[in-house]
Structure 1
Amino acid sequence: MSDPERPSRTAAVIPAAGRGVRLGPGAPKALRALNGTPMLIHAVRAMAASRAVSLVVVVAPPDGAPEVKHLLDEHALPERTDYLVVPGGDTRQESVRLGLEALPEGITTVLVHDAARPLVPVDTVDAVIEAVRDGAVAVVPALPLADTVKEVEPGAPGAPEPVVATPQRARLRAVQTPQGFDHATLLRAHTTVTGEVTDDASMVERLGGTVVVVPGHEEAFKVTRPLDLVLAEAVLARRRANDGF
């Protein structure tokens, strides 16, 4: 739980060491251009847009930290937010841990954000931070599912797969980022939970901690496939038209 006597300071960790194979060959996914600007820059700006975030730690590909730092130096970021670039590891989990190890003392709240979610609105970021500051040890933004979901018995790629269950859709949520954590809780999770997990909130769940959900946003989608790039460009075009962004 958060200590009400301690001043609250928030940092964001952005693991950006992956290659993004589903977007095809070329630069790592986080460095792909979106409206002429790398997705990573959009993601950093999305975190820095929150006045509560005082530090953004970017976890670069193991051999790409100088390139990523040069990239950040080239693009305008809010002056009130510091940033730091550290080399990552072989897995996302290892990269997040390395990002956590780089945090200075005094950080009470940590956001972990996917570089491939470049368009998350600041209201979503602030809602996650506020929930942690209100006492939650782990917070995820999420959306209700529009589609019916089937659990199947996995088979060979492309082969028919038998359905084994139909979960109740009203109880399911599609989880996004940034995920927010009490700093000490997330550190404990990364030092005690072994085995690969799909997100950091799952690690807190394994510790027995309660993860709470706040409303996500449709624009916080993950850019994974080429079609997602088209959608992201459309969102940016609409923002420019509506807000001059």
Structure 2
Amino acid sequence: MKTWVVVPAAGTGSRFGVGTPKQYHRLAGEPIIVRTLHRLLSLEPEAVVVAVHKADQRWQQMPLSRHPKIRTVHGGHERADSVRAAVASLAAEAGEDDWVLVHDVARPCVLISDIRRLIATLAGHPVGGILATPVSDTIKRVEPDSCQIRNTEDRTRLWSAQTPQLFRYAVLRKALASVDSSVTDEAGAVEKAGLTPLVVEGSRDNIKITRREDIAIATAIIEFQATQQGQTASDI
């Protein structure tokens, strides 16, 4: 059984607040997309399919885009469109039971040990699952117009979804074909297909860089991880 990696990277980073898409912003000296892909390539997958915006000229100028295991497809307006395009590009090669590991380009701090544990935990599972962390904050349901609190949610059963999200090729392909582009992650598409993915607890290091202030947090995480490994931030 093979493992294929999909990285949706077609976003324009509207919440990031600068003209350059966030995946090209530098984090501890390297573009975010480069840091993320280096970690994924260390897993030695069959291939890594990167879905970029059709107007993106930065990606093809990067030496990493020509790595022998990296392929490029054009993504869509929404995340689901990009993942769908990447998964479709594997149709002639991927087996029904092969694994597809989907990871956000904006999660460069993911621990390789967490990904390996996700893969090992799901080894015999017919569907797949995701990395996630238990919610620790108190969660309020709020009226969108008035900002009034409607109720407090029971957080004991709430988890915050992360990536990677790992699914059998056939399961993911069929699930994505049956939902519209509003679905925000692969697990959501699989759930709508009536299937039940597993949750594997991940690390809180695995933040998603969404706003500019997240860069400082991610930099601190990268530096801490490097210290733990006896390296510098530029080495990992």
Q: What TM-score, normalized to structure 2?
A: 0.90
Aligned counterpart, 1:106: 94
Cα-to-partner distance string for 1:112-134 (whole Å, 9 max, x where unaligned): 11101111001111122223322
Q: For residue 198 of structure 1, report the CA deviation from its aligned partner.
A: 1.3
Aligned counterpart, 1:230: 216
Conserved? CA contact 2:135–2:159, under 8 Å: yes
**2:81 aligned with 1:94:** yes
Q: For residue 23 of structure 1, report the CA deviation from its aligned partner.
A: 1.4
Conserved? CA contact 2:81–2:181, under 8 Å: no
CA distance in 1, matches of 2:225, 2:202: 18
Q: For residue 136 of structure 1, report the CA deviation from its aligned partner.
A: 4.1
CA distance in 2, matches of 1:25, 1:172: 33
Alignment-mate amino acid for residue 36 of structure 1: G
Output aligned runs, 1:11-90, within 5 Å: 11-51=4-44, 53-64=45-56, 67-73=58-64, 82-90=69-77
Q: For residue 222 of structure 1, report the CA deviation from its aligned partner.
A: 0.4
Cα-to-partner distance string for 1:1-54 (whole Å, 9 max, x where unaligned): xxxxxxx10011000000111211221111111112111111111212224x22
SS in 2 for 1:59: strand
Cα-to-partner distance string for 1:30-83 (whole Å, 9 max, x where unaligned): 1111112111111111212224x221111111122x5313314379x7xxx711
Q: How many residues were matched structurally?
A: 228
Conserved? CA contact 1:15–1:88, under 8 Å: yes
CA distance in 1, matches of 2:48, 2:158: 31
SS in 2 for 1:11: strand
Output aligned runs, 1:204-223, within 5 Å: 204-223=190-209
RMSD, matched Cα: 1.9
Q: For residue 193 of structure 1, report the CA deviation from its aligned partner.
A: 1.8
Output aligned runs, 1:160-199, within 5 Å: 160-199=146-185
CA distance in 2, matches of 1:105, 1:193: 23
Q: For residue 86 of structure 1, report the CA deviation from its aligned partner.
A: 1.2
Q: 1:13 to 1:148 in 2, by over 3 A?
A: same
Alignment-mate amino acid for residue 84 of structure 1: R
Residue of structure 2 aligned with 1:121, choices 111, 122, 136: 111
Q: What stretches of structure 1 move > 4 A for 4+ residues in a row? A: none
Q: What TM-score, normalized to structure 1?
A: 0.87
SS in 2 for 1:210: coil
Gaps of 5+ in 2: none
Q: 1:154 to 1:19 in 2, by over 3 A?
A: same
Q: 1:179 to 1:144 in 2, by over 3 A?
A: same
Q: For residue 195 of structure 1, report the CA deviation from its aligned partner.
A: 4.9
- Between the aligned residues of both structures, percent identity stands at 33
Tell me whether 127-136 or 16-25 shows the greater mean CA deviation. 127-136
